[in-house]
Amino acid sequence: MKPLPLCLLVPVLLAGCEQPDMADQPRLETYETSAAFNDGLAARPVPEGSVARGQGSAATENPLPINHETLTHGRQQFEVFCAPCHGRNGRGQGVIVQRGFPAPPSLHLARLREADDKHFYQVIRDGYGAMYPYASRVPEDDRWAIIAYIRSLQLSRNARLDDVPEDRRPLPDTGEASP
Protein backbone atom coordinates (compact mmCIF):
# COMPACT_ATOMS: atom_id res chain seq x y z
CA MET A 1 0.00 0.00 0.00
CA LYS A 2 1.34 3.42 -0.95
CA PRO A 3 1.44 6.15 1.70
CA LEU A 4 -1.15 8.89 1.22
CA PRO A 5 0.29 12.20 0.20
CA LEU A 6 0.54 14.64 3.07
CA CYS A 7 -1.91 17.11 1.39
CA LEU A 8 -4.70 14.50 1.58
CA LEU A 9 -3.91 13.45 5.12
CA VAL A 10 -4.06 16.97 6.67
CA PRO A 11 -7.72 17.70 5.71
CA VAL A 12 -8.80 14.32 7.06
CA LEU A 13 -7.11 15.03 10.39
CA LEU A 14 -8.52 18.57 10.60
CA ALA A 15 -12.07 17.36 9.92
CA GLY A 16 -11.96 15.58 13.24
CA CYS A 17 -11.35 18.81 15.17
CA GLU A 18 -14.37 20.20 16.94
CA GLN A 19 -15.39 23.56 15.49
CA PRO A 20 -17.55 25.95 17.55
CA ASP A 21 -21.04 26.57 16.27
CA MET A 22 -21.52 30.30 15.73
CA ALA A 23 -25.21 30.04 16.63
CA ASP A 24 -24.33 28.82 20.12
CA GLN A 25 -22.07 31.71 21.09
CA PRO A 26 -22.50 33.26 24.50
CA ARG A 27 -24.90 36.17 24.22
CA LEU A 28 -27.51 38.05 26.20
CA GLU A 29 -31.22 38.00 25.52
CA THR A 30 -32.97 41.36 25.25
CA TYR A 31 -34.44 41.51 28.78
CA GLU A 32 -31.64 39.72 30.65
CA THR A 33 -29.50 41.47 33.21
CA SER A 34 -25.86 42.19 32.54
CA ALA A 35 -22.96 43.35 34.63
CA ALA A 36 -21.43 44.92 31.52
CA PHE A 37 -23.49 48.10 31.89
CA ASN A 38 -24.05 50.34 34.90
CA ASP A 39 -27.84 50.03 34.70
CA GLY A 40 -27.61 46.22 34.75
CA LEU A 41 -29.68 45.76 31.57
CA ALA A 42 -28.60 43.93 28.42
CA ALA A 43 -30.91 45.99 26.17
CA ARG A 44 -29.59 49.44 25.41
CA PRO A 45 -31.89 52.46 25.13
CA VAL A 46 -32.54 53.83 21.66
CA PRO A 47 -30.48 57.02 21.11
CA GLU A 48 -32.51 60.20 21.09
CA GLY A 49 -33.34 61.37 17.57
CA SER A 50 -33.11 57.89 16.05
CA VAL A 51 -35.46 57.20 13.18
CA ALA A 52 -36.58 53.67 12.42
CA ARG A 53 -35.85 52.51 8.91
CA GLY A 54 -38.60 53.67 6.55
CA GLN A 55 -40.06 56.11 9.08
CA GLY A 56 -38.82 59.56 7.95
CA SER A 57 -40.83 62.66 8.65
CA ALA A 58 -43.66 62.59 11.17
CA ALA A 59 -45.37 65.52 9.44
CA THR A 60 -48.69 64.75 7.76
CA GLU A 61 -49.02 68.16 6.13
CA ASN A 62 -46.45 70.18 4.26
CA PRO A 63 -44.33 72.03 6.85
CA LEU A 64 -42.86 74.46 4.28
CA PRO A 65 -44.39 77.89 3.69
CA ILE A 66 -46.32 77.78 0.43
CA ASN A 67 -44.90 80.79 -1.38
CA HIS A 68 -43.27 81.69 -4.68
CA GLU A 69 -39.83 80.51 -3.56
CA THR A 70 -41.08 77.09 -2.40
CA LEU A 71 -43.12 76.55 -5.57
CA THR A 72 -40.22 77.60 -7.81
CA HIS A 73 -37.87 75.22 -6.04
CA GLY A 74 -40.52 72.48 -6.11
CA ARG A 75 -40.97 72.97 -9.84
CA GLN A 76 -37.22 72.68 -10.45
CA GLN A 77 -37.03 69.47 -8.42
CA PHE A 78 -40.20 68.09 -10.05
CA GLU A 79 -38.73 68.66 -13.51
CA VAL A 80 -35.52 66.85 -12.54
CA PHE A 81 -36.95 63.85 -10.68
CA CYS A 82 -40.64 63.51 -11.61
CA ALA A 83 -41.22 64.93 -15.09
CA PRO A 84 -39.33 62.19 -16.97
CA CYS A 85 -42.16 59.79 -16.06
CA HIS A 86 -45.07 61.99 -14.93
CA GLY A 87 -44.57 64.67 -17.60
CA ARG A 88 -44.16 68.37 -16.92
CA ASN A 89 -47.93 68.74 -16.53
CA GLY A 90 -48.31 65.71 -14.22
CA ARG A 91 -50.56 63.74 -16.54
CA GLY A 92 -48.29 60.67 -16.65
CA GLN A 93 -47.01 61.03 -20.22
CA GLY A 94 -43.35 61.87 -19.66
CA VAL A 95 -40.47 61.19 -22.05
CA ILE A 96 -39.81 57.74 -20.59
CA VAL A 97 -43.44 56.75 -21.16
CA GLN A 98 -43.18 57.89 -24.78
CA ARG A 99 -40.30 55.42 -25.14
CA GLY A 100 -42.35 52.45 -23.94
CA PHE A 101 -42.09 52.48 -20.15
CA PRO A 102 -45.42 51.88 -18.34
CA ALA A 103 -47.28 55.12 -17.66
CA PRO A 104 -47.60 56.25 -14.04
CA PRO A 105 -51.01 57.49 -12.91
CA SER A 106 -51.94 61.06 -13.68
CA LEU A 107 -51.44 63.30 -10.66
CA HIS A 108 -54.81 64.84 -11.57
CA LEU A 109 -56.84 61.71 -10.72
CA ALA A 110 -59.45 62.33 -8.05
CA ARG A 111 -57.87 59.77 -5.68
CA LEU A 112 -54.52 61.58 -5.87
CA ARG A 113 -56.06 65.03 -5.53
CA GLU A 114 -57.76 63.76 -2.35
CA ALA A 115 -54.64 61.99 -1.02
CA ASP A 116 -52.92 63.74 1.86
CA ASP A 117 -49.43 65.20 1.59
CA LYS A 118 -48.01 62.34 3.66
CA HIS A 119 -49.01 59.90 0.88
CA PHE A 120 -46.93 61.80 -1.68
CA TYR A 121 -44.07 62.10 0.79
CA GLN A 122 -44.04 58.33 1.36
CA VAL A 123 -44.25 57.56 -2.36
CA ILE A 124 -41.32 59.85 -3.13
CA ARG A 125 -39.33 58.37 -0.26
CA ASP A 126 -40.20 54.66 -0.65
CA GLY A 127 -41.31 54.35 -4.26
CA TYR A 128 -44.55 52.76 -5.42
CA GLY A 129 -45.18 50.12 -8.06
CA ALA A 130 -42.55 50.62 -10.76
CA MET A 131 -41.43 53.93 -9.22
CA TYR A 132 -37.97 53.80 -7.72
CA PRO A 133 -37.55 55.13 -4.14
CA TYR A 134 -35.95 58.57 -4.09
CA ALA A 135 -35.08 58.71 -0.36
CA SER A 136 -31.36 58.77 -1.10
CA ARG A 137 -31.67 61.28 -3.95
CA VAL A 138 -34.25 63.82 -2.82
CA PRO A 139 -33.72 65.50 0.59
CA GLU A 140 -36.72 65.90 2.89
CA ASP A 141 -37.30 69.63 2.27
CA ASP A 142 -37.08 69.05 -1.49
CA ARG A 143 -39.75 66.34 -1.20
CA TRP A 144 -42.08 68.79 0.52
CA ALA A 145 -41.33 71.45 -2.13
CA ILE A 146 -42.17 68.92 -4.87
CA ILE A 147 -45.44 68.12 -3.09
CA ALA A 148 -46.31 71.83 -2.93
CA TYR A 149 -45.68 72.06 -6.67
CA ILE A 150 -47.77 68.92 -7.33
CA ARG A 151 -50.64 70.56 -5.42
CA SER A 152 -50.29 73.67 -7.59
CA LEU A 153 -50.43 71.49 -10.73
CA GLN A 154 -53.54 69.76 -9.42
CA LEU A 155 -55.16 73.08 -8.59
CA SER A 156 -54.29 74.50 -12.01
CA ARG A 157 -56.28 71.72 -13.73
CA ASN A 158 -59.12 71.37 -11.27
CA ALA A 159 -59.75 74.82 -9.81
CA ARG A 160 -63.25 76.16 -9.38
CA LEU A 161 -64.33 79.78 -9.22
CA ASP A 162 -65.11 79.24 -5.53
CA ASP A 163 -61.39 78.56 -4.95
CA VAL A 164 -60.53 82.13 -6.06
CA PRO A 165 -60.83 84.79 -3.34
CA GLU A 166 -63.72 87.22 -3.95
CA ASP A 167 -61.41 90.20 -4.48
CA ARG A 168 -59.43 88.34 -7.19
CA ARG A 169 -62.36 87.09 -9.27
CA PRO A 170 -63.04 88.56 -12.73
CA LEU A 171 -65.50 91.42 -12.93
CA PRO A 172 -68.84 90.28 -14.44
CA ASP A 173 -68.91 92.74 -17.37
CA THR A 174 -65.28 93.08 -18.44
CA GLY A 175 -63.68 89.75 -17.69
CA GLU A 176 -60.86 91.60 -15.96
CA ALA A 177 -59.83 90.91 -12.35
CA SER A 178 -60.88 93.46 -9.79
CA PRO A 179 -58.08 95.75 -8.52
Q: What is the pLDDT of residues 158-174, one digit of tens each?
A: 888 888 888 888 777 66
pLDDT at 175 over 70: no
- What local confidence, expressed as pLDDT, does residue 74 receive? 97
d(CA 97, CA 35): 61
Q: Looking at the predicted structure, is the pLDDT value of residue 127 above 70?
A: yes
pLDDT digits (tens, 9 = 90+) for 61-84: 899 999 999 999 999 999 999 999
pTM for the full predicted model: 0.63
CATH number for region 83-158: 1.10.760.10
Give residue 99's pLDDT band: very low, low, confident or very high (50, 70, 90). Answer: very high
Q: pLDDT class for 15, splitting at 50, 70, 90?
A: low
**Concatenated DSSP letters of 16-72:** TS----GGG-----TT-B-TTSTT-BSSPPPPTT---TT-----SS--S--SHHHHH
